[in-house]
A and B are shown apart, each in its own frame.
Chain A
């Protein structure tokens, strides 16, 4: 039995490590490439480790592009986007879950129906609307859509429904206004869902591509993915520059991941529960 167990353990590590190598090889290649000089990119045989590592690519990324600014843009947009999503969705979810009102069910089903519509359908008119409002090339154009996020509402409605009405009624009897009930009782009881939601929303906003691509063309306002795709246009095959940019773009989100690992894990679990 123990011999069999040992074989199984060895097999487990063999497969797990093989998969880890597959997952990591592209990143190792990225790191190695980012330290290559332009000439070393096209050496035959391939230089797996740069023979003369240089910072050239990084200097180029930072001098040709306001990359520090770009990181700040990404942070600002993603944090605002997440905050507004949480604010708007938790308010709406409280109304749907805890206040009985005329048309409530119908309205909630309208919200759910909106989840089905691919963003591409509303993208063109939204582009026109933003144009009309003079908002193209502003942070607001990328942040504002966060005010209506049906998936977030849906997730929080599910959570708020589990709060016993007695809790809320008791607070009302003690003289709390309805907003206090929302803020002091409903919200604190939803903290796990809110934490999960903020992580997934932040990630979505951080990595979003199509909408910011349509809205942001000023170098000083771009988010990381848009800056990277611009870099791709300018340095199409200068892979050392592209890899340096990619590496820099990954650092902030990895730091956030390490800090908030638990919430990330719960976020995934929440995704699974719906299945």
Chain B
């Protein structure tokens, strides 16, 4: 009969005919917005294309093909290593601080006290704020002379640094802003992990007379490691793609101290119109993300406990 679901064990054309109208919109999207750009991006990265000459010219490849020259030139410029160093500085500072802050958020929100709902809203407002607005707000807070941060520090007799204008402090300042913005987001993800922990573990620990801190380090933390792992992976990938904060708050300055990879790709592609160079840069970014993700995936065996 025509209008029955295709038998689930049968492979072949009939299923394809039924499935194709469902797949059509997203398949068009896959081709036009993902696969085709992916291939073009790979090709462009092998050229010195400046964004002007027509890609469809028959002579295009002949005139512009440079092989792996872009990759070679990126990897041999000190700028790239500075950029990678800045990105790593961000990630190394950001992940532990963000984890500590979001664990605190998750812990607080898991407590059975009055007013939890209000705290949840308050911790979540920075998450709702767009990166652009958050960056503007913090640019104002961190203004060296007239900003709130140094004003508050002055109450305690501390002379605050120039923050975004100071080479040494600009990246830590961006980390601070990112932790502030993300702690509610990751905190709620960790909270769902905390809520999911089987209560009997705590009851058993109570019988054994374990204190709050012991319960936290011996039960909550180990059983939360799958959620923590997820958070670390997402945070790391986001870290490599750090962009709006830098664009709005420092533009890569001062003196290149906050230049990061996506910011460089944007500048090369859309400020200097070195499309080939920018495309090659984006592939290097991709490889770096893949390598670090793979390392994390491998490393998880050592510290992530799956409770089954």
Measuring CB to CB, which residues of chain A are less than 8 angstroms from any residue of chain B? 8-9, 12-13, 15-16, 19-20, 22-27, 29-30, 33, 41-46, 48, 87-89, 91-92, 94-95, 98-104, 107, 110-111, 114, 116-118, 120-129, 144-145, 147-149, 153, 165, 168-169, 172-173, 175-179, 181-182, 203, 206-207, 209-210, 214, 224-226, 228-229, 232, 237, 239, 242-243, 245-246, 249-250, 253-254, 257, 261, 264-265, 268-269, 271-275
Which residues of chain A come closer than 8 Å to B137, judged between CB atoms? Answer: 26-27, 29-30, 243, 246
- Asked if B132 is an interface residue, CB under 8 A from chain A, the answer is yes
Q: Are B180 and A265 in contact (CB under 8 A)?
A: no
Which residues of chain B come closer than 8 Å to A48, judged between CB atoms? Answer: 151
User: Provided the pairs A99-B5, A148-B34 are in contact, do residues A121 and B230 lie with their beta carbons within 8 angstroms?
Assistant: no
User: Provided the pairs A12-B113, A239-B140, A250-B129 are in contact, do residues A94 and B15 lie with their beta carbons within 8 angstroms?
Assistant: no
Q: Are A12 and B111 in contact (CB under 8 A)?
A: yes
How many angstroms from the CA of A261 to the CA of B7 in the assembled complex? 42
Q: Are A128 and B136 in contact (CB under 8 A)?
A: no
Contact with A along B117-153 (1 / 0, CB 8 A): 0010111111011111110111111010110100110
How many angstroms from the CA of A254 to the CA of B122 in the assembled complex? 11
Which residues of chain A come closer than 8 Å to B10, judged between CB atoms? Answer: 100
- Other-chain contact of B227, A13, A107, A272 (Cβ < 8 Å): A272
Which residues of chain B come closer than 8 Å to A214, judged between CB atoms? Answer: 270
Q: Are A24 and B148 in contact (CB under 8 A)?
A: no
Which residue of the partner chain B has the closest CB to A45?
B151
- Other-chain contact of B41, A15, A124, A145, A275 (Cβ < 8 Å): A124
Which residues of chain B come closer than 8 Å to A101, judged between CB atoms? Answer: 6, 11, 15-16, 18-19
Q: Most chain-B CB neighbours within 10 Å: which of A89, A125, A207, A265?
A: A125
Which residues of chain A come closer than 8 Å to B183, judged between CB atoms? Answer: 23
Q: Most chain-B CB neighbours within 10 Å: which of A16, A229, A232?
A: A16
Which residue of the partner chain B has the closest CB to A74?
B130
Q: Nearest Cβ distance between residue A102 and chain B, in whole angstroms?
A: 5
How many angstroms from the CA of A114 to the CA of B31 in the assembled complex? 11
Q: Are A116 and B290 in contact (CB under 8 A)?
A: yes
Which residues of chain B come closer than 8 Å to A126, judged between CB atoms? Answer: 33, 37
- Pair count A-B, CB < 8 A: 307
- Other-chain contact of B113, A9, A111, A273 (Cβ < 8 Å): A9
Which residue of the partner chain A has the closest CB to B185?
A268
Q: Are A249 and B148 in contact (CB under 8 A)?
A: no
- 4 further A-B pairs in the complex, CB-CB below 8 A; given A111-B26, A123-B282, A207-B130: A110-B30, A147-B25, A228-B130, A242-B136
- Other-chain contact of A33, B124, B134, B140 (Cβ < 8 Å): B140
Which residues of chain A come closer than 8 Å to B136, judged between CB atoms? Answer: 228, 232, 242-243, 245-246
How many angstroms from the CA of A120 to the CA of B238 in the assembled complex? 12
- Other-chain contact of B29, A8, A22, A148 (Cβ < 8 Å): A148
Q: Nearest Cβ distance between residue A243 and chain B, in whole angstroms?
A: 6
Q: Are B146 and A41 in contact (CB under 8 A)?
A: yes
